[in-house]
Structure 1
């Protein structure tokens, strides 16, 4: 609370300085804006439709409607939220399966602290973390979305501790008449870095059909996306120790080469780059069926989504050549008295095949005039998730066809929730929300050697691990409008967590079978209280303070996954405790006729914060990295957000969404776990928490030139952060860095006819080169045709 008070005065001053804009009549502005696109005014959603100025009863929130989305070059769903306050989406390229989400004090690799729902169906992936824990964004297409709401922090009892960062709620549109929609998108990217320079292209085709047949709503869509990405990794080695006798013997017969690119690594040490992963070809097919049925005061929605994804990487690049001018791929090499090693698998090929099926059922309606009920059931299962890697480059003369396969089997989750809402609970102005939720997760991961890498045949296990977790929860929240100026929310969530059937491999050479070690079952019970009080000091003003406890339980990967493949070694921690968070938020809001200004001052303290830390090994090592999960005793985060959203700013045709956030996230205690942290060569107390830039800001502006023509511009800004707990990765604009960036974008849309729209856009106009471990995309062009029948 002391930290909250310290930043309040500064934040309030910033807010008051930005509240002097004149107001325009919102109805008139929207009439002009939507004359060219009248369907925006009649969009209906299966969930609750929200106004973009809504602040939320307990959680501070941000709402995006269709009229807000016109400024965004949205090829995939995650694009729609990337300009919102205190959010980072690590989307490395269009079609990336690893589009991780970070909210407020939860960085982009703390994926288990954020939740994403589409029509009540979970898209968040609470089986794994880091890049593997990215939400399954492609289970819903950007073309079918009617609105998006972001809830910040765990202040509502309706959501588990996985909402420490926040919750993204996506609602799709209901067809009210027969509708056919087609999108044809083409995108192209300039990219040049190290030894790679190329133009990369892709396209998206979207088709949907919807109809309303009496009380039955029918919707079908097909989305296909194909894209070639820039290389995702650039490989280097450091000069070997020339005075070491073993090294001297090793390099006595080293091959002389040319072509090494001299730069540095993230620690600022000299590094010699010899190759990259090459173009990554991503193809995704998504099929969606939605059936809605209304009967009386009740409605149901059946949601079925099937995804078929292939990611192919078969053309890694080697920059180095031998004395005869031939490209070389693996071995010991020397250039100008530099000694480097390239293991055979470093420039190998890989291919991912993934097929997933998501099924969700939502039922809601009135039991009485004052009682509503809602139930959500979901099932997500991996039908296939198979990654195959070759032991060498396919062009390497030493390649004999061997490889390694990573396979997920019997992996997925199921959820079940029932919720009652009592709008008249004995006292005027009191609403009671109460319910129960059950979630079950299972993950099984096998890594095995293959005689034929492409076929992925099992020639002996390299590692195996897996297990199950479940959470049973009950919650209640009372929302009380005490009078015209005061309201109050009190709530609590009780959760019972269990892990079971955990195992990992520890092969014993003298036994014929591949041995597994069983992990003991564990369980925990936690209660999370919630509190919020709102005060309306005068017309169009709102002040709200929210306080909450939250517990984020470990996911299966953190507890049990222990794997070794060509790319990395992962070591699990079955003894991890749940993350324990205490969260505050103080909000000041001034609402205008056509928009609002808002300041959020937030603090949070996370004890036993679970962090994945990767130690990168020299190029001559068997694998490039070792990742362990460690627990940091305490992390404190203080932040201030300023948000200004205005329709009709200065002139009725100009709309603006602007936000800026300052976030300071510091490791304040690491006294009991330092010895277990592989990165700790010194105390990390006082260091910045990884992947948490101090400043972030976004701007979207749209000018409605006419009823048919929109012109938009946008800016994304973030300053540099660290990728490691020890904060030693200080180098910028190198592979593995956590760079700051300023990325400018533009878009223009024109309605050729009432049915046909054409748009053109550019992201990263200045072609800025920056990294977030992997390279951000270069300058990207978008051309889109949309047709409605």
Structure 2
């Protein structure tokens, strides 16, 4: 990577800090014992890697492993965070490969507005900003490896890029002190009833983990095999009733137009295998090297179920092309690798170097080009591939403590570089069921983005009651080698560049030992992802159009938080506001010339998210063993301007509610532990309705493509049979709430898991 002389100075500073930590390690205290950190009444020992990470200066929420195990049906890592304040994990079903993280000021379709880390390793997929390939790579960890999860709200730390405008999730893992093996078997059954689908869908998952520490070495490996059958993820609709057929269900789409339901699509059978491992070596008592790798394999087959019959009563597709889009096969192999070198001197200096690479070794989806008669499809088809898509990141961080470890001041600095490359092609097939039978190119979207950054942050305790944190981040961004091909037209897109400086400031006041007031201000800039600029998808159940002329979105954030500790609990009230100019927002349109919905991204003039969040938790409420926690968040998300919005019906975007942000969101969790071996949990989540259009014309609820309000309750009972064996029984969506978030979401599901620890 190339850097100008102006870039080299901060990079040199970070290198100096890393080198200094090695040079002065002899001055550090000889003991490397870690002090326990109390999280929600549970003591955990955080890994030493956390010491090179500057403390986050604004609002945080945490959940420890012990609470996750007792209260959450954590089939996958992302499940562990679903009851954190203002958090929503968009997980449509077990086996979903696209669980996106939504936060208090940005909803779904905003995967690039949050950052997710596993032990300082970024697992966010900033290749895109959507609900598909933009989902974090959660498989780089397993639920059994989690020590705790921290959620950091807002872009108030200079250590993170503008992609943190929605927040930062840090998943901290642990290595067992002694050799340990866990085997977990999970079984789930969902009864689904909607339109013409009345069926039962099952999921089976086997997870095995093993780890140990021996002298300077530590290791952990995990394997997860899943076999899942999903409910319909889409529906085939039409503006009329196909000739000479019956069985269509009269319906409308989200904007109130006729969209009769002809059948169900996306009935996906998924066979997934995830492998990940970590190896660490303590070179010295204060210097550790580690390597992490994860391999993910996914094979699936999607089918369609027609509700139509012909005059003789036989099933038929009614010559509706949308059925072909819901019939496809897929196969993917992905590999992620990460290496780190970090110090924990407990002295004046510490440093950390993290390098990562993620590669789409194979990622293909193939489907027929259309339908013929009856329930037959064409022999020819198309193959969409992302093979060759990849990204790499490098982070160098250093910490200087002028007054020593635990002193009143801590100066941190760092440098960052990332490279993202998109390779997205669709080719014609002579036989859609034989992926190697490729002929000519049908469409293509490719390109690259690169970001270099330097940052510095100073946390200074002015006196025991006041902590001031100030910092700044400067970034250089470039998009290049953009190429799009569709039909007979090929376009080489022009290169784009942009630079930005983002200042940060936070002031904390400890009013009393049990009261804390924090005020924070920040500017952040999010540059368009390579997917938003160049991705062109023309197969499957959606069509995505590129926009190479997108501008970066720039936000100004502020938060005022009041926190009070109650001894066995806490309560927090946060007032927040974010003004974002040139907001990058995805839109979905149902156009008559396309058999599937069309997605595209636009810059919206200015969006304001203003809200209030109340979060509280308390242990031993009324009786010993009863734990209560919950949150409620109100957001007024308003489009202040959008001069480029064009409407053929006279509607306007100005003054409307911003897409994908619910006005009200709430969570509540009650756990009762009458004895150490038993825990009973009832949890609820509420989300108000959302709009997905800029002019808020999608006001028809409970239809395919709509974003409904919902209230979902989950129940869990866990029993620790003995020190080695535990059993849990869950019911997700206890009241069988039926709702759409574009897709129909999971209905009542019964889950049981048995875990053996050796």
Give the alignment's TM-score, normalised by structure 1: 0.87
What is the aligned counterpart of 1:587 among 535, 540, 561? 561
**Equivalent position of 1:780 in the other structure:** 749
- 2:307 matched to 1:307? no
**Equivalent position of 1:451 in the other structure:** 430
Residue segments in structure 2 that go unaligned for 5+ positions in a row = 1-37
Paired residues, number: 715
**Equivalent position of 1:546 in the other structure:** 520
Residue segments in structure 1 that go unaligned for 5+ positions in a row = 1-29, 35-39, 241-253, 332-341, 509-514
**Equivalent position of 1:122 in the other structure:** 122
Counterpart secondary structure, 2:425:
strand
Deviations 1:240-271 (A, max 9, x none): 8xxxxxxxxxxxxx742221112222123443
1:215-230 superposed matches below 5 A: 215-230=216-231
**Equivalent position of 1:6 in the other structure:** none
- 2:510 matched to 1:531? no
Structure 1: how far apart are the matches of 2:228 and 2:460? 51
CA 1:626 to 1:466, structure 2 compared with 1: closer, same or farther past 3 Å?
A: same
What is the aligned counterpart of 2:313 among 320, 325, 329? 325
**Equivalent position of 2:89 in the other structure:** 89
**Contact persistence 1:329–1:347 (CA under 8 A):** no
How far does residue 41 in structure 1 lie from its aligned partner after superposition?
5.6
**Contact persistence 1:348–1:394 (CA under 8 A):** no
CA 1:46 to 1:408, structure 2 compared with 1: closer, same or farther past 3 Å?
A: farther
Structure 1: how far apart are the matches of 2:194 and 2:728? 29
Counterpart secondary structure, 1:48:
helix
1:646-725 superposed matches below 5 A: 646-671=618-643, 673-675=644-646, 681-725=650-694
Structure 2: how far apart are the matches of 1:239 and 1:382? 41
Structure 1: how far apart are the matches of 2:515 and 2:470? 22
Structure 2: how far apart are the matches of 1:757 and 1:218? 24
Structure 1: how far apart are the matches of 2:174 and 2:51? 10
Bigger mean CA deviation after superposition, 177-186 or 609-618: 609-618
How far does residue 67 in structure 1 lie from its aligned partner after superposition?
2.5
- 2:357 matched to 1:379? yes
Counterpart secondary structure, 2:163:
helix
**Equivalent position of 1:80 in the other structure:** 80
Deviations 1:532-580 (A, max 9, x none): 0111112210000000000000010111223433544322221211000
**Contact persistence 2:251–2:260 (CA under 8 A):** yes
**Contact persistence 1:421–1:434 (CA under 8 A):** yes
How far does residue 346 in structure 1 lie from its aligned partner after superposition?
4.0
How far does residue 345 in structure 1 lie from its aligned partner after superposition?
4.7
1:573-584 superposed matches below 5 A: 573-584=547-558
- 2:727 matched to 1:738? no
How far does residue 60 in structure 1 lie from its aligned partner after superposition?
0.8
**Equivalent position of 1:71 in the other structure:** 71
Deviations 1:701-758 (A, max 9, x none): 1111112111111001111111111111111111111111111111011111111000
- 2:742 matched to 1:760? no
**Equivalent position of 2:61 in the other structure:** 62
- 2:607 matched to 1:635? yes
**Contact persistence 2:442–2:486 (CA under 8 A):** no
- 2:577 matched to 1:603? yes
Structure 2: how far apart are the matches of 1:746 and 1:518? 54
What is the aligned counterpart of 2:442 among 458, 462, 468? 462
Bigger mean CA deviation after superposition, 60-69 or 261-270: 261-270
CA 1:535 to 1:610, structure 2 compared with 1: closer, same or farther past 3 Å?
A: same
Structure 2: how far apart are the matches of 1:278 and 1:664? 34
**Equivalent position of 2:23 in the other structure:** none
**Contact persistence 2:140–2:293 (CA under 8 A):** no
Structure 2: how far apart are the matches of 1:645 and 1:363? 37
Give the superposed CA RMSD. 2.3
Counterpart secondary structure, 1:667:
strand
**Contact persistence 2:579–2:607 (CA under 8 A):** yes
Deviations 1:10-45 (A, max 9, x none): xxxxxxxxxxxxxxxxxxxx99x99xxxxx866664
Bigger mean CA deviation after superposition, 394-403 or 84-93: 394-403
Deviations 1:464-505 (A, max 9, x none): 111110110000000011012111001000001111111111
